[in-house]
A = this chain, B = another copy of it.
């Protein structure tokens, strides 16, 4: 098997799994219980939150643990319509993941355009910010292209606007939220340096367990809980804590930081091998992209057919986001960067990861070349 879809899912690392194990059947206590073994579990849980937070330059108390990135993104948008400073407006990048797009649209959000590079159109951003804008959501790295957005530049624009609002006596807050689900093990993330007020991170994308994510929330940002109940996570996310999940996430986050440079170098090397080995493609995500993302277009070929043909050779690739692909929708991301229907239909997303070796990538290039050549021959008769 050659797995080239690490943006869709990653296996849980051996270390993360080992760290989780005691918390299933031995240290299983409810962290809210009053006796010592439960308090120890609660302390382990808080320590794990600290570890996760440290991976983005924050403290554990700045995090709200969620069931994943989708819930974290949804929670971030509860910042809207909190105060009584009149109508709240929301802006989001048009290439965001559905978990941002859908909730932004629920709040009547306006889309910020991207350039053909996939990067945010900063002029469009500036034009669309009004005195009513309360929340701007721009992912750190796109989930279909891996495009890394210039968040610090976005934050600088927001800072200027906040200063101007202050001068004019406008009290409405302006928050920057970023979905960093795809980036935690590929970029050196620091919330202060990025200038974000909220940041979404995910365990399942960084070799931690599924069903766990977190939202970093800076001081002063007021959110509303999506679920009410026992008051866990400072009342922002009730429900008995998923202790093994958080322990696994913390271990994965720590590993991600430790191996960041090594992994980036590895993925750069593998990407070079792949791109020099492959034939007859157009590279879509040329610049400003995560080291493990390769989006290729095979003009005139149906990428969905390629997926099935490659599956027979035990090579697993994607056409776009797994959740969008399963609904048979045309990628809104590839549309946004100006690809035509034929290009979109011929686009493959290959995302490298820890399961890959150089040998595998040589082999993958050979088999993909064969498969595309056979398919082109079949089509052209």
Contact = CB atoms under 8 A, between A and B. Distances in A.
A343 B321 CA distance: 57
Interface string A19-58: 0000011101110111111100000000000000000000
Interface in A303-341: 304, 307-308, 310-311, 316-319, 321-327
Contact of A238 (B32, B102, B244): B102
A144 interface: no
A106 interface: yes
A243 interface: yes
A69 interface: yes
Nearest to A316: B35
B326 A210 contact: no
Chain A, interface size category, equals 35 or more
A342 interface: no
A67 interface: yes
A10 B32 contact: no
Contact of A34 (B244, B245, B307): B307
Interface stretch (A70-78, A120-128, A165-173): A70-78
A200 to B, nearest CB: 11
A24 B229 contact: no
A232 B98 CA distance: 11
A204 B11 CA distance: 23
A326 B229 contact: no
A231 interface: yes
A318 B97 CA distance: 44
A367 interface: no
Contacts of A189: none
Interface in A227-276: 227-232, 238-245
Contacts of A5: 29-30, 33, 35
Q: Which 8 A-B pairs give the minimum distances between C-beta atoms?
A: A230-B323, A211-B242, A99-B229, A70-B239, A102-B228, A67-B67, A9-B30, A8-B30
B34 A227 contact: no
A297 B307 CA distance: 65
Nearest to A243: B210
Nearest to A1: B37
Contacts of A307: 34-35
B99 A239 contact: yes
B14 A25 contact: yes
A378 B332 CA distance: 72
A226 B9 contact: no
Contact of A33 (B209, B210, B325): B325
